[in-house]
Structure 1
Amino acid sequence: MKKFLKITGTILALFIGFFVVYYFINNEDLPKGKKGKEADALAIKMFNAIHHEAFENTEVLEWSFRAQNFYKWYKQKGIVEVKWDENKVILNTKDNSKSVIFINKKKVDNPEILQKAIRYFNNDSFWLVAPYKIFDPGTERSIVNYEGKDALLITYTSGGSTPGDSYLWILDDNYFPTSFKMWTSIIPIGGVSGSWSDWKNTEAGIKLPTKHTLSLFGMEISMGNVKAYNQKANLLAHKILKAIKHENYKNTKFIEWSFRGRRNFKWDKEQHIVDVSWDKFKVILHPQAKEKSTVYFEGIKQEDTDEKIVKRAWDIFNNDSFWLVAPHKLFDDGVVRTIENIENETALRVTYTSGGTTPGDSYVWLLDENYVPKSYKMYLKNGRMNGTPATWQDWITTESGTLLPTNHTFSGGNQLSMGEVKGYN
């Protein structure tokens, strides 16, 4: 027995010794930063980089924490489904007393389980959305020089489960967070670093981390199958697609139209090859393989394909097809959908985060009583249009059974004709 206690004591002493050495080698004091306008300006740059506005509009987030705790957060409603083991809590974040608790699918009154759900959510949601919380009530922002570059120190003076914690955000050249250092009450070593780089582009237009790796013994924290989406906006978008006979559009093989009588198109949609004609040029455009495109000048095929002319045809097709089929592209990759209220009408804002020639542009669609688009307001990233209205009018039902517009009118009265629009198989 004495030998066993001696061995146990030796192991314990070695462990304590190891921890003491590790602590003195790795522990860092909380850096002192400068508060004020410069710190807030840096925080705003970080906010812009992570598309904070899209986060504010996000309706639902889903994730897990170390495959143990599972979440579905209805952010706009302030409701979270929290699940772990045999427990499920419908947590009301605005009024905890209105939360509902289930154990083994049976509704119960259990304050201890409720408090655990609150702690879990406060901790585990932080690991998902912490960069979006840098202006939360009870936060202090300081600018810190870290390895020759500005970093943002956030201290939580109130709120959550562990007020007093501080996090130093390390930013790249575009002010996007890539990692952090933390000084928290639950970790005795100050300055433990963690990655914030395994991002996922979500349907809601925000990036969320899928995992973190800590400098503390290489610990990894998995966030599971991360999702963020806008449920109400998606439902409205589906109503629009139904109204304009989108299923028939998907099956339409050929579409023809013109643009202000200056440019003409015949689109083999099934093969995705477009005959683009303007001035004395005609390009048989392969949008997904531009090198296969063919250029004609005054009806004569050019043996040496001019890449600039092909690029011009591609730009023309992207722009002019948008004015014809944009309502059919609500669920394209890189499209973010959100609900807006415009003059007491429910409208759909569509933001294009990628693709086309001007990613970042957004359009707010106004609908008639049948959910057919009647107009929209344009918000261009270059600032040339900020809510500029245009109609979406004179819809026709094509031979293939889909709806397409033939005219648009702008606020100044100028009209844009799509010519003789055809859709057929």
Structure 2
Amino acid sequence: MKIGLVFFASIILLSSCSRQQSKNAGSPSTKEAVINKIWESSGGRKTWQNSRYLAFSFAPQREGKTVMSRSHLWDRYTGDYRLETKTPTNQDLIVLFNVNSQKGTSYLDGKILADSLNSKEIKKAYGNFINDSYWLLAPLKLEDDGVNVTLEEPEIVDGTKLDVLHLTFGKVGLTPGDQYWIYADSVNGQIKRWKFLLQGKQEGVFNWTDYKDLGGGLKLSTYKQNINQAGAGIKFLNASVLTNVDKDKFTKQ
């Protein structure tokens, strides 16, 4: 009789657990839960806090070929920055500045630019920093000041259920009228796609692929593929978190 009672009690317990699991599985995600999963898939908040030096090259692709490249090196703790690129006339441009003060020095083919030209290049370099780093780091910026996040209905993309976050902005950044939609795997939080509508009315949809550990556990997508144009996208070449950087990189060409 005791065996029968134990068996009966076990059936009740299993049935209760099954109902609870079913309830949890069917319960809708919250905005906070989705953001937390995205953080976890990227390596976590602490990992990002500990990632002091970030290096990457922003390289747009067309027909599978790199059309230009901007090389970035950032000391996140001090704001010191180094940007290297080529001008439209194929001259070497190096801009050494601080993203907080937006002051620094620009070199064109090894020569220091005069103040008026230097100011223009620093302004452009700052704009490149904002644009290029956002393409790489968007998963880590969902909780920044001035970012408004709302959770929309999930969507099925290529057979996978994706949670959808809609991002709008307060009076922050250079283009506060931009809007983004982040599509994250509902199970592991990895971002699979984003869609944007820029304040200049430009639209785009890009799949996020080629996830890599950049160093120290920070995991990010290093290729954003334009779904409407074969061979077009944004590659992040040599993206890495560095543990040490020669300070001269921020002060000398």
Larger-gyration structure (1/2): 1
2:31 maps to amino acid: A
CA distance, structure 2, for counterparts of residue 359 and residue 347 of structure 1 = 20
Matched, 1:377 2:175: no
1:418 aligns with 2:229: no
Higher relative contact order (CA 8 A, sep 6+): 2
Residue 309 of structure 1 corresponds to 121
Amino acid at match of 2:84: S
Superposition RMSD in Å: 1.8
Q: 2:221 aligns with which of 384, 394, 405?
A: 405
Q: Deviations over 1:88-111 (max 9, x none)?
A: xxxxxxxxxxxxxxxxxxxxxxxx
Asked if the contact 2:99/2:126 (under 8 Å) is kept, the reply is: yes
The 3-state SS of whatever aligns with 1:423 is strand
Distance 1:371 1:341 in 2: 15
Q: Give the AA of the match of 1:251.
A: N
Q: Give secondary structure in 2 for the equivalent of 1:359.
A: coil
Which string of whole-angstrom CA distances, capped at 9 and with x for unpartnered residues, describes residues 270-294 of structure 1?
211110111121111211101x311
1:303 Cα offset (Å): 5.6
1:392 aligns with 2:220: no
Q: Is the 8 A contact 1:366 1:373 kept in 2?
A: yes
Q: Any conservation in 2 of the 1:351–1:363 contact (CA below 8 Å)?
A: yes
Structure 1 unaligned runs (5+)? 1-230
3-state DSSP of counterpart to 1:394: strand
Given that 2:155 and 2:164 are in contact with CA atoms closer than 8 Å, whether structure 1 keeps it comes out as no
In structure 2, distance between residues paired with 1:394 and 1:352: 28
Q: Give the whole-Å Cα distance in 2 for the aligned partners of 1:336 and 1:343.
A: 20
TM-score of the pair, normalised by structure 2: 0.71
| Residue correspondence of structure 1 range 19-98 to structure 2 within 5 A | none
Which whole-Å CA distance do the structure 1 matches of 2:215 and 2:202 have between them? 37
Distance in 1 separating the partners of 2:58 and 2:101: 24
User: Which residue of 47, 51, 72 corresponds with 1:248?
Assistant: 47
- Residue by residue over 1:58-105, the C-alpha shift from the partner in whole angstroms, topping out at 9 and shown as x without a partner, is xxxxxxxxxxxxxxxxxxxxxxxxxxxxxxxxxxxxxxxxxxxxxxxx
1:362 to 179, 184, 208: 179
Whole-Å Cα distance in 2 between the matches of residues 333 and 297 of structure 1?
35
Summarize the Cα distance change of 1:354–1:394 in structure 2 as closer, same or farther, 3 Å threshold. farther
Which structure 2 residue ranges, 5 or more long, are not aligned?
1-28, 60-67, 87-91, 157-161, 244-253
Tell whether the 8 Å contact from 1:335 to 1:354 is kept in structure 2 after alignment: no
Shift of residue 366, structure 1, vs aligned partner: 1.0
Q: Say which SS state the counterpart of residue 149 (structure 2) adopts.
A: strand
> How far apart are the structure 2 equivalents of 1:327 and 1:286?
23
- Matches of 1:293 and 1:415 in 2, distance apart? 31
Whether contact under 8 Å (2:206, 2:233) holds in the other structure is no
Once the two structures are superposed, residues 312-360 of structure 1 have per-residue CA deviations (whole angstroms, 9 ceiling, x without a partner) of: 1011111111111111001001001111124354211122223222112
What does 1:195-210 align with in structure 2 at a 5 Å threshold?
none
**Structure 2 residue identity aligned to 1:236:** V
Task: Give the 3-state SS of the residue equivalent to 1:355 in structure 2.
Answer: coil
- Partners of 1:250 and 1:343 in 2: how far apart? 31
What residue in structure 2 maps to residue 239 of structure 1? 37
Residues 110-140 of structure 1, C-alpha deviations (whole Å, 9 max, x = no match) = xxxxxxxxxxxxxxxxxxxxxxxxxxxxxxx
Residue 343 of structure 1 aligns to a residue in which SS?
Answer: strand
Classify the secondary structure of the residue corresponding to 1:240: helix
The residue correspondences of 1:159-198 to structure 2 (distance < 5 A) are: none
The ranges of structure 1 where at least 4 consecutive aligned residues each deviate by more than 4 angstroms after the TM superposition are none
Whole-angstrom CA distance in 1 between matches of 2:99 and 2:223 = 25
Please tell me whether residue 289 in structure 1 is matched to residue 106 in structure 2.
no
SS in 2 for 1:317: helix
Q: Which of the numbers 253, 274, 287 marks the counterpart of 2:81?
A: 274
TM-score for the superposition, normalised by structure 1: 0.43
Contact 2:167 2:181 in 1 (8 A): yes
Aligned equivalents of 2:113, 2:233: Cα separation in 1: 35
Equivalent positions of 1:335-346 (< 5 A) are 335-344=147-156, 345-346=162-163
Letter in 2 for 1:418: F
SS at 1:392 equivalent: strand
Deviation of residue 421 (structure 1)?
A: 0.7
Deviations 1:5-48 (A, max 9, x none): xxxxxxxxxxxxxxxxxxxxxxxxxxxxxxxxxxxxxxxxxxxx
